[in-house]
Structure 1
């Protein structure tokens, strides 16, 4: 991680921008990259942004929402270079990252539609939480170091290490592979292979973002058509056990509202890891004790 850096445009080809992150804070670098892409898309109707070498940029939906707030459609391919966690379809060891895909569609007066997911069956962070809570993961999410299916999250935390599985078999694997190539290769960054494996101890992201201005299309009814489709989906008779039909973005907004109202649940093992990291980085023990006392 390199402190106090900003996104640097290394190539400006009009509707295509190549941006170097230089291992700067991902939250800064990705925000600035999207701002440049938004500005250019407003001028030209479209902009493809190749961001390379940013330190961990976090939740990809945040950057799609940034574009949506500007009234722009976007979709994003991301790779986690040199840090494989996922086995390829038909393989038995780690060869690829959890490589997210994201897309967003803005709606006037309504929250945007936002699709944002890792291409692994479950996100690695959720496996860590299951491990800390002593719980199992869903079937089809993990294999052990011999390639056998398992429900035990310890295979991702304790040697010999296993692997995450791609979601949806060969379909999720195919999307993950294209995320790796689109984000890592087209941006001028790097993909995961023998020469880049374990070259750093950080999460380094590359991202290919395509940002579109809906007004640039001959589609004056685009938003109305999108809304009509959403209403059509929600009018489907509910399946047994289903309470409602949620479109992309709605489950996350519901969870956010719940967390804002009632707090974020943190299991004891995770909290102890947070405390240990804080102490290691110099936080005063008295301050940490005050925070711990506030955790319910």
Structure 2
């Protein structure tokens, strides 16, 4: 079951919750935008679910610094490194994205990295933000030192899901926005299946014997691991694995943040927290490459041509990353954001803890 909440009401509620958790009004508004973007576009695990399950609790207990002093570590015409001071990754990455956009307008391409940060929510938000400014963008994050999946063929969880997103403007329709993890699925979806008491599809998890596993509990019990995008080595798992390494190289050593595969992990194998996370945003201005007036039209034609192809199944038209999410967003704006009952209950509990008023629509799950 789901409940629906008007977008603006959810945004106001998320902003108030983040303020009550210690953020300034400006930072709370920026963080709420990222949260609501995820919900509006159908990525609830990275939206209100994370608000109630990750951001507010960690802001309140100090694991995330509610009053960070964002510091510039290095700054050049086409790049910068920011120290997030253990603050909310949503806020520091919005600032990094805007800085990369500004620099790209001057130099054509820019890269801004963030260190000493935390969970940054939906990667697609930052890529989409750049497309709204008419730029192409790539955004990515590692999971700090936290190990979520072992290297391909390995047994020790060393790498994160290491999500990345890419976006390109295409006026006249939905922009191209690819939002993906390097693993077959984000671990939040495995947690959601566990919470709902259902099995996960074959291919999400593999047991210690290399056989497929569908019980989500096996992942959290350490009896199965999430697979890399592509699956096994025979079916292309090296591609997802390689992407995860690339993200850790850029968001770890390049950004100056932590990363997963360190020698101490092999020595003691202890679970490590997802702190000192690194993010990277790359922005590209088509105008700097002589395509300022033509890129958008070309992108629109390319995407529309793909979508016009005759589908194998008439019930499943050909589409592209960003288009289905745009349709979900349109429905959210028209009818309200759809939130699963368990997320609605989390929000009600959070509101009670913060002593703030929850949207009236959430009350339906308590009846």
TM-score by shorter chain over 0.5? yes
Q: TM-score, normalised by structure 1?
A: 0.87
Q: Deviations over 1:118-174 (max 9, x none)?
A: 1111111111111111111111111235554201111233x3453211111111111
Q: Does structure 1 residue 205 correspond to structure 2 residue 273? A: no
Mapped contact 2:147–2:271 kept (Cα < 8 A): no
Q: Secondary structure at the match of 1:152?
A: coil
RMSD: 2.7
Query: What CA distance in whole angstroms lies between the structure 1 residues aligned with 2:153 and 2:201?
Result: 19
The number of equivalent residue pairs is: 291
Query: What CA distance in whole angstroms lies between the structure 1 residues aligned with 2:271 and 2:77?
Result: 33
Q: CA deviation at 1:91?
A: 2.2
Find the counterpart in structure 2 of residue 293 from structure 1.
363
Mapped contact 1:37–1:47 kept (Cα < 8 A): yes
Mapped contact 1:87–1:166 kept (Cα < 8 A): no
Mapped contact 1:82–1:199 kept (Cα < 8 A): no
Find the counterpart in structure 1 of residue 154 from structure 2.
91
Return the match for 2:338 from 252, 258, 264.
Answer: 264
Question: Residues 1-296 of structure 1: matches in 2 within 5 Å?
Answer: 1-145=64-208, 147-157=210-220, 159-168=221-230, 169-194=237-262, 195=264, 201-202=273-274, 204-219=276-291, 220-240=293-313, 242-260=315-333, 261=335, 263-268=337-342, 282-284=353-355, 293-295=363-365
Between the two structures, name the one with larger relative contact order (CA 8 Å, sep ≥ 6): 2
Query: What CA distance in whole angstroms lies between the structure 1 residues aligned with 2:314 and 2:276?
Result: 41
| Pair 262,13 (structure 1): closer, same or farther in 2 beyond 3 Å | closer
Query: Structure 1: which 5+ runs fail to align?
Result: none
Query: What CA distance in whole angstroms lies between the structure 2 residues aligned with 1:210 and 1:287?
Result: 39
Query: Structure 2: which 5+ runs fail to align?
Result: 1-63, 231-236
Q: Secondary structure at the match of 2:113?
A: strand
Mapped contact 1:275–1:288 kept (Cα < 8 A): yes
| Pair 170,215 (structure 1): closer, same or farther in 2 beyond 3 Å | same
Mapped contact 1:145–1:155 kept (Cα < 8 A): no
Which deviates more, 35-44 or 141-150?
141-150
Mapped contact 1:7–1:33 kept (Cα < 8 A): no
Mapped contact 1:53–1:189 kept (Cα < 8 A): yes
Q: CA deviation at 1:263?
A: 4.1
Q: CA deviation at 1:209?
A: 1.8
